[in-house]
């Protein structure tokens, strides 16, 4: 039999302190499978000293607080005390319950990253409508709380309202586990009903509980008494504001109507539910409302408000009635309606009891928690893809990084992508999907090199054991990744896309980088991925990287390109080139080629880059009416260009394994390419290679090819057959094997 795992529950308060969060935590502790889990509780103490006790079959550690702000206890001594407790308890999983700040934040800060951290969030924003208080709340929710949410391996929300609204940015790693009710304890008992029509209100009476709505309920009860003179209101709860409300009752002349019972629990609390005729909670902010569920379990109709998760529990017109926040008139009318109609109250109470019995078992909630804890322990491998540019930025490296990251996410890996905001109107954003987070970091560009200012900080906080997959095409990014890997003990994979040539005025600096730094970068990685055996030999020879750490993995191709249907033939041969307009692409060769062609042709050049202006000048001098520059196009628009093309041209000086070649082949477009590194292994035997590439040599190959339709058809078939073996799932499976090897 497997040994029991220890789970540490952390809550700001715990019974005998009363409240929905406290009861929620205690019920999970009580009902979790003790054969599989050893529950331990860490909470705060009201006694002015640290205590340790046994409660509900588990150990409870209570730490004294030195001061309290609103509803938040705190002590700076907790930082050290929590460290010692974690060493003693040795939890396998830690489950922190919030939103009350304090002890949960301390645990999140000092908890080792090797221990799974699960956060349960019970409320929405804590803003209270007071300027000073709301500024402090905003600061907390945007700094410490954001860190805690980011730090959590999984987030449990006590209602869908919290998950889909307040915590919508974390929906990719969150689930909803609604509170339950012990329906064997909270049961109706008509024998002890009060003789007078009684309204019950249950909530804390501290300053942080004002949103529960006792103030508006007192105003409503005063109006109810004018219609039902013997009405009674029972208030269960305690806190720093109790004397304020007691004085308010006296000033309102309601001392014979309102009774304060103080903080109750166990049998005494259940009896107050059983004695009442109606439960009312006119709250302004409620994630779920455990007290509402308890009231329904004891057969009470409920009047509450359209906020948070309340409408998921109270079916207005069936188990109770809901009114708008602060609508005293509607609240008064509903209270009168229920207290004046016992048959209606009974019917609504029966419906509420049935709803709770069918869907709110604490045993089931505890099982759901155990499942989350188990999954948190067995979290998937985190893979961080770090790439200078990313779609919609146009380029082969961008496509490879995107396709690999998304396929890994589909396979269940925890994938994080870090890239720049460069390439169009892209702003700093975070996109979250299942198993996949894309962070576009604020960036600058220097000598065609993206600088991601906050990248080191994001990499430093990645989970232990993360693999850094760096897509290499620029300086700076790989060095940062390797430094962080050294600090955190991460493994690194360098994906060598292309031996980039210098461009622009600062090009000589890049030559020095390649000469003195790039080899060190490649040799420092755990492994290097490249696209061909020829490129593998180049990396080994040029940069002195050992062959046994260089893996040859080709690029993949998406299935959408195989679905492209070509348009009808044209009298003009339609030539197509797609890619960045940079020096190594040598687009000038095919522009200067046009006068040497013996057939009528039109050349479409898709892409953008620093050489565009010079190329347009050359085109204007050479064949202005036969060349079209389209600029940057979306993937869908590029597919339309493949659909209309007769021959695809790639006259580069050197390449990696260009995605555009695979796309053209999959689309059934014959490919004519320079016979150079990075193109030989892809195009050789499938398309046409041009030896000693020049305008004349390209023209010679095309002049022969255009006259040979049979050859072009054969090239189309070979291209499709070749690329069918390169689906992204197959390619990513090979990358997975590399991750395992390192």
For the four alpha carbons of 206, 211, 212 and 213, in that order, the dihedral sign comes to: positive
| Nearest in space to 111 (alpha carbons), one of 150, 142, 151, 59 | 151
**Lowest mean pLDDT: which of 369-383, 664-678, 683-697?**
369-383
Which of the four pLDDT bands, split at 50, 70 and 90, describes residue 1? Answer: very low
pLDDT by residue (tens digit) across 708-721? Answer: 999 999 999 999 99
- pLDDT > 80? residue 469: yes
pLDDT, tens only, 85-98: 999 999 999 999 99
Q: In this predicted structure, which of 178-187, 220-229, 379-388, 695-704 has the lowest mean pLDDT?
A: 178-187
CA 567 vs. chain centroid, Å, equals 42
What are the sequence ranges of the domains in the chain? 5-176, 190-360, 380-552, 561-726
Query: Span 106-116, mean pLDDT?
Result: 91
Render the burial of 463-492: b for 16+ CB within 10 Å, e for the rest: beebbbbbbbbbbebbbbbbebbeebebeb
Options 2.30.30.90, 3.40.50.300, 3.40.50.2000, 3.40.50.970; CATH of 561-726: 3.40.50.2000
The pLDDT value recorded for residue 504 is 56
The pLDDT value recorded for residue 503 is 57
CA–CA gap between residue 38 and residue 40 (Å, rounded): 7
Q: Which pLDDT score is estimated for 454?
A: 92
Q: With 70 as the cut, is the pLDDT of residue 83 above it?
A: yes
Question: Per-residue pLDDT for 418 more than 70?
Answer: yes
Note whether 190-360 and 561-726 share their fold: yes
The pLDDT tens digits for 443-463 are 888 767 788 889 999 999 898
- How many residues does this entry show for the chain? 742
Model pLDDT for residues 207-221, shown as the tens digit of each residue? 778 889 999 999 999
User: Would the pLDDT of 408 be above 70?
Assistant: yes
**Largest Cα–Cα distance of the chain, in whole Å?**
107
How does pLDDT run across 474-531, given as a tens digit for each residue? 778 899 999 999 999 999 999 998 776 655 565 566 667 778 888 999 999 999 999 8
Write down the architecture of domain 5-176 according to CATH. 3-Layer(aba) Sandwich (3.40)
Q: What is the pLDDT of residues 559-616, one digit of tens each?
A: 888 888 777 677 899 999 998 898 889 999 999 999 999 999 999 999 998 899 999 9
Asked if the 190-360 domain carries CATH number 3.40.50.2000, the reply is: yes
Residue 9, beta-bridge partner list:
41, 95
Q: 657 and 683 in contact (C-beta within 8 Å)? A: no
User: What average pLDDT does the segment 344-368 reach?
Assistant: 90
Q: Find the radius of gyration of the CA atoms of the chain.
A: 34
The answer for 21, left when phi > 0, alpha when psi is -120 to 50, beta otherwise, is alpha
pLDDT per position as a tens digit, 231-248: 999 999 988 899 999 999
Asked whether residue 141 carries a pLDDT value surpassing 60, the answer given is yes
Token digits of residue 525: 């990685």
How is residue 178 written in tokens? 């609604």
Residue 596 structure tokens: 């040497």
Average pLDDT in the chain: 90
pLDDT at 501: 61
Report residue 133's pLDDT band, with 50, 70 and 90 as the boundaries.
confident
Domain 380-552 has CATH 3.40.50.2000: yes
- Which pLDDT belongs to residue 20? 77
Q: Distance between alpha carbon 7 and the CA centroid of its chain, in Å? A: 25
Q: With beta carbons less than 8 A apart as the criterion, state whether 204 and 238 touch.
A: yes
Q: How confident is the model at residue 197 (pLDDT cuts 50, 70, 90)?
A: very high
DSSP code per residue over 144-190: HHHHHHHH-SEEEESSHHIIIIITGGGGGGEEE------TTTS---G
């Amino acid at each position: 039999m497997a040994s029991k795992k220890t789970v540490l529950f952390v809550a700001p308060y715990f019974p005998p302190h009363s409240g929905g969060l406290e009861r929620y935590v205690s019920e999970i502790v009580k009902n979790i499978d003790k054969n599989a889990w050893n529950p331990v509780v860490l909470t705060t103490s009201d006694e002015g000293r640290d205590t340790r006790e046994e409660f509900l079959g588990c150990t409870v550690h209570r730490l004294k607080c030195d001061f309290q702000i609103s509803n938040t206890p705190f002590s700076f001594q907790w930082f050290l005390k929590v460290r010692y407790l974690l060493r003693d308890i040795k939890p396998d999983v830690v489950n922190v319950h919030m939103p009350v700040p304090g002890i949960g934040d301390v645990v999140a800060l000092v908890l080792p990253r090797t221990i799974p951290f699960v956060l349960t969030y019970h409320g929405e924003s804590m803003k209270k409508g007071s300027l000073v208080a709301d500024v402090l709340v905003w600061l907390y929710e945007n700094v410490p709380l954001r860190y805690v949410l980011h730090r959590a391996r999984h987030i449990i929300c006590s209602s869908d309202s919290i998950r889909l609204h307040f915590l919508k940015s974390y929906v990719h790693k969150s689930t909803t586990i609604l509170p339950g009710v012990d329906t064997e304890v909270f049961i109706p008992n008509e024998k002890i009903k009060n003789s007078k029509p009684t309204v019950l209100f249950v909530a804390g009476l501290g300053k942080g509980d004002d949103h529960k709505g006792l103030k508006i309920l007192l105003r409503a009860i005063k109006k109810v008494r004018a219609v039902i003179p013997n009405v009674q209101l029972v208030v269960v709860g305690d806190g720093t504001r109790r004397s304020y409300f007691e004085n308010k009752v006296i000033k309102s002349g309601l001392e014979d109507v309102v009774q304060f019972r103080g903080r109750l629990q166990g049998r005494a609390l259940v009896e107050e539910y059983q004695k009442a005729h109606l439960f009312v909670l006119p709250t302004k902010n409620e994630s779920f409302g455990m007290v509402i569920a308890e009231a329904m379990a004891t057969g009470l109709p409920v009047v509450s408000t359209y906020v948070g998760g309340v409408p998921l529990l109270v079916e207005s017109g069936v188990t109770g009635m809901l009114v708008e926040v602060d609508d005293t008139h509607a609240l008064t009318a509903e209270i009168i309606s229920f207290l004046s109609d016992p048959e209606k109250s009974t019917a609504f109470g029966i419906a509420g009891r049935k709803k709770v019995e069918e869907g709110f078992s604490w045993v089931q909630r505890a099982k759901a928690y155990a499942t989350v804890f188990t999954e948190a322990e067995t979290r998937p491998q985190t893979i961080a893809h770090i790439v200078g540019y990313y779609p919609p930025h146009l380029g082969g490296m961008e496509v490879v990084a995107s396709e690999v990251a998304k396929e890994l996410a589909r396979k269940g890996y925890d994938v994080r992508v870090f890239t720049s905001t460069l390439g169009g109107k892209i702003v700093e954003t975070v996109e979250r999907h299942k198993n996949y987070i894309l962070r576009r970091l604020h960036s600058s560009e220097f000598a065609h090199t993206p600088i991601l200012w906050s990248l080191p900080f994001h990499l430093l906080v990645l989970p232990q054991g993360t693999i850094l997959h760096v897509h290499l095409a620029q300086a700076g990014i790989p060095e940062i990744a390797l430094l962080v890997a050294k600090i955190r003990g991460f493994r690194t994979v360098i994906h060598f896309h292309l031996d980039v040539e210098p461009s622009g005025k600062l090009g000589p600096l890049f030559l020095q980088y390649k000469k003195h730094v790039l080899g060190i970068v490649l040799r420092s990685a755990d492994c290097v991925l490249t696209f061909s055996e020829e490129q593998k030999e180049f990396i080994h020879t040029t940069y002195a990287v050992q062959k046994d750490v260089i893996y040859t993995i080709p690029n993949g191709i998406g299935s959408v390109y195989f679905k492209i249907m070509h348009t009808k033939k044209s009298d003009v041969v339609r030539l197509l080139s797609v890619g960045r307009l940079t020096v190594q692409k040598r687009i000038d060769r095919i522009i200067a080629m046009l006068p040497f062609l013996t057939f009528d042709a039109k050349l479409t050049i898709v892409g953008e880059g620093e050489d565009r202006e010079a190329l347009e000048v050359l085109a204007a001098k050479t064949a202005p009416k036969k060349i079209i520059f389209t600029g940057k196009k979306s993937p869908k628009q590029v597919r339309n260009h493949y659909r209309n093309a007769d021959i695809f041209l790639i006259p580069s000086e050197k390449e990696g394994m260009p995605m555009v070649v695979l796309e053209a082949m999959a689309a059934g477009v014959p490919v004519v390419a320079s016979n150079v590194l990075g193109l030989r292994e892809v195009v050789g035997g499938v398309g046409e290679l041009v030896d000693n590439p020049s305008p004349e040599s390209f023209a010679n190959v095309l002049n022969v090819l255009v006259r040979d339709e049979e050859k072009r058809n054969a090239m189309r078939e070979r291209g499709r057959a070749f690329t069918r073996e390169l689906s992204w799932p197959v390619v990513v499976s090979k990358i997975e094997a590399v991750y395992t090897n390192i």
